[in-house]
Structure 1
């Protein structure tokens, strides 16, 4: 790396030489003295220029990142002050003058609305010599990648599958058992526990105690939920970026970002109730994450969602992914083509309760031309017809951008209808 004379110092030296020459030729020592000061200072500072080059690197921060932010430490080594430049993509985040004594560590916090693997930032430094008389060339750019996990949002009541499973859980099933609400009062029979005897009913129906009556309850059970994310599309609010030649803006969450957040929120809501949740990817042929429960299952789902991304050309499945019997299916997709709607109809005809979650962002169409507006109109008409066909098949529809907690709570209170029933 080469240290060069700064423009200000070069200009000061030139002006100083000119004043000294003018003073000598005109016999004006006062003018020559005025030019001697910047000339001597410039030459002295130039001779004191550093001999080593500044370096910079990004290291992992010891502090845990907050939701929607990335943390890293900028570690720079330089013999003098440096100018630190931080950019993210094509956007310059900040430039700062930093005093360095051999080495210095600076905290870096970057706020982002995106999830998944991404670069924290690109950082370079430029050394500044004593008196700003010399500057170095910018150092090689340092960067660091990070995996941003989707942050869940709180949801209220959640819908349940038509059939619950297991002998434990937080939901009241139709089977007789323990833990749920009152099922009926029945005469005592072999196998009933003595603590289930209802003495009030017994005293009213059989005062002579010739027969005992017991209270029978509903059994508690758990729900099995399968989250299916359609990773084939990752589109932003600007339709002009859908062709892939222009990336979406860093401040705009894409459809896959919304799908990750929606799936994480649903997973947290069901897991907090003690249900079992699994994950599958409609755009990749890999082994799905089987249904499970607990905090570790939520961590596994969040990590798998963060790694979900479009992989090459969209795959066309020969058959829909296999779903456990009696499971509730939540399909997160933009429904810009027929693939997601086709597998949703297959699951619904197989008897599963299917909820289609529309994760298409709110589109910005003001900057579109006439041809682009016509194309978007055709896409919108085809998409609305596709969603209407799903509704006719009794696939329930939730739009994530329009208060999804209210829509899910409404579905939780609504009885499951059979396919083809009129609305």
Structure 2
């Protein structure tokens, strides 16, 4: 800019025969010449690195490492993310430095965040480099696992050991009955009080038949969590048809599904049960049921990458599940596919819990025709959920009171008279 101004002034002075005007261009020419001789010879670098490998819902952080070139006096940064107002920062040149970046989000999953446009200045902003871009970088935001307790159990506990009381006789804590001592009974199971009361010979004072106390065996449960990723709708109904980006501070149905699946999986894994994960919208190998800390990490990694993928084909039959497993299906139930699959699982003998993940909808940007269409869609959805309950599927809505609803479901009387 200074060189252009110097050439313009010099041209006007020479063309007009005004040496006094031409002399005014000399300082500008000298300034441009000195700036050109002392300009930065190398390009700087800017790299983005997530601060933590495991980001959860709330504040997401990353770090921008700026290394300005030699001779640069300042670096101008413009940080932007989809759904956020861009922020600007001016950083002094010289040595390399790290700049912390953060944003608040209620979304989960993998999102592109933190695009940084930057340029360097030198010689009092006379020399300005061309803009460069770093990022955005993909950041996996994991759902927060809300603590739950009093979880429902499947109709049948197929495991051999665990923390739950099953209906079969074995090693446990709850009394099943008292019967005559037989081969295979442990000596420590002999009930001496019952034996003395029932089998003592009054004439001789000796015991006859011994009686042993039998208990219900303890077992673990098999739980399959199924997430319906076929649609991802937010609170703004006008964005359901597509073409409008969902704001990062709005919760979508998949965010609710991820949160529900994470909380339920963590609750059962803490009880020592075996938990698996499947996706109703993708035909890929599910996470098989297992227990332990590593299983929780596998479920987390799969959950954070659950996302809609094209338009899935209609399944001819429900995905195959382990025998006797408890099925937790997280879906919006905006169509018949998820409900049809849930009824099939219930017909196969599984206990099925349908978790409604549709967020609270907003109709602020709808016209009269769209509001009428929404009422019809929600009416069909309500009838669909009622039909599920009539077929034996237990339905709950994921919200702040879900722990109370799951507790009520866990108190439902199971076949055989046990809770």
Q: Is the 8 A contact 2:55 2:142 kept in 1?
A: no
The residue that corresponds to 1:73 in the other structure is 63
Query: Which deviates further from its counterpart, 158-167 or 144-153?
Result: 144-153
The residue that corresponds to 2:318 in the other structure is 320
Unaligned stretches of 5+ in structure 1?
A: 15-24, 26-34, 419-423
Aligned positions of 1:77-92 closer than 5 A? 77-79=67-69, 80=72, 81-92=74-85
Query: Which deviates further from its counterpart, 297-306 or 409-418?
Result: 409-418
| Whole-angstrom distance in 1 between the partners of 2:357 and 2:105 | 19
The residue that corresponds to 1:273 in the other structure is 271
Query: What's the CA shift string for 1:346-386, capped at 9, x where partnerless?
Result: 11122211111000111011221112111111111111111
The residue that corresponds to 1:22 in the other structure is none
Query: Which deviates further from its counterpart, 124-133 or 223-232?
Result: 124-133
| Whole-angstrom distance in 2 between the partners of 1:397 and 1:314 | 24
The alpha-carbon deviation at position 405 of structure 1 amounts to 0.8
| TM-score normalised by structure 1 residue count | 0.85
| Whole-angstrom distance in 2 between the partners of 1:381 and 1:319 | 26
Aligned residue among 132, 138, 145 for 1:145 = 138
| Whole-angstrom distance in 2 between the partners of 1:65 and 1:162 | 36
SS at match of 1:91: coil
Q: Is the 8 A contact 1:278 1:290 kept in 2?
A: yes
The alpha-carbon deviation at position 206 of structure 1 amounts to 3.3
Q: Is the 8 A contact 1:56 1:139 kept in 2?
A: no
Query: Which deviates further from its counterpart, 149-158 or 382-391?
Result: 149-158
SS at match of 1:384: helix
The residue that corresponds to 1:21 in the other structure is none
The alpha-carbon deviation at position 105 of structure 1 amounts to 2.3
The alpha-carbon deviation at position 64 of structure 1 amounts to 4.6
Counterpart check, 1:381 vs 2:371: no
Aligned residue among 234, 237, 243 for 2:235 = 237
SS at match of 2:209: coil
Counterpart check, 1:262 vs 2:288: no
The alpha-carbon deviation at position 242 of structure 1 amounts to 0.9
SS at match of 2:294: helix
Q: Is the 8 A contact 1:57 1:143 kept in 2?
A: no
Q: Is the 8 A contact 1:54 1:125 kept in 2?
A: no
The residue that corresponds to 1:121 in the other structure is 114
SS at match of 2:369: helix
The residue that corresponds to 1:169 in the other structure is 162
SS at match of 1:159: coil
SS at match of 2:258: helix
The alpha-carbon deviation at position 165 of structure 1 amounts to 0.9
The alpha-carbon deviation at position 93 of structure 1 amounts to 4.5
Q: Is the 8 A contact 2:331 2:356 kept in 1?
A: yes
CA 1:222/1:65 → structure 2, altered by over 3 Å: closer, same or farther?
A: closer
SS at match of 2:244: coil
Unaligned stretches of 5+ in structure 2?
A: 10-19, 201-205
The residue that corresponds to 1:94 in the other structure is 87
CA 1:228/1:90 → structure 2, altered by over 3 Å: closer, same or farther?
A: closer
Q: Is the 8 A contact 1:178 1:217 kept in 2?
A: yes
The alpha-carbon deviation at position 265 of structure 1 amounts to 1.0
| TM-score normalised by structure 2 residue count | 0.86
Q: Is the 8 A contact 1:65 1:71 kept in 2?
A: no
Counterpart check, 1:197 vs 2:197: no
The residue that corresponds to 1:372 in the other structure is 370
Query: What's the CA shift string for 1:201-233, capped at 9, x where partnerless?
Result: 223333422222222111001111111111101
Aligned residue among 233, 243, 246 for 2:244 = 246
| Whole-angstrom distance in 2 between the partners of 1:40 and 1:417 | 94
The residue that corresponds to 1:301 in the other structure is 299
| Whole-angstrom distance in 1 between the partners of 2:320 and 2:237 | 33
Q: Is the 8 A contact 2:149 2:407 kept in 1?
A: yes
CA 1:417/1:213 → structure 2, altered by over 3 Å: closer, same or farther?
A: closer
Q: Is the 8 A contact 1:394 1:417 kept in 2?
A: no
The alpha-carbon deviation at position 128 of structure 1 amounts to 2.5
Q: Is the 8 A contact 2:2 2:28 kept in 1?
A: no
| Whole-angstrom distance in 1 between the partners of 2:370 and 2:147 | 37
The residue that corresponds to 1:135 in the other structure is 128
The alpha-carbon deviation at position 46 of structure 1 amounts to 5.0
The alpha-carbon deviation at position 104 of structure 1 amounts to 2.1
| Whole-angstrom distance in 2 between the partners of 1:183 and 1:386 | 41
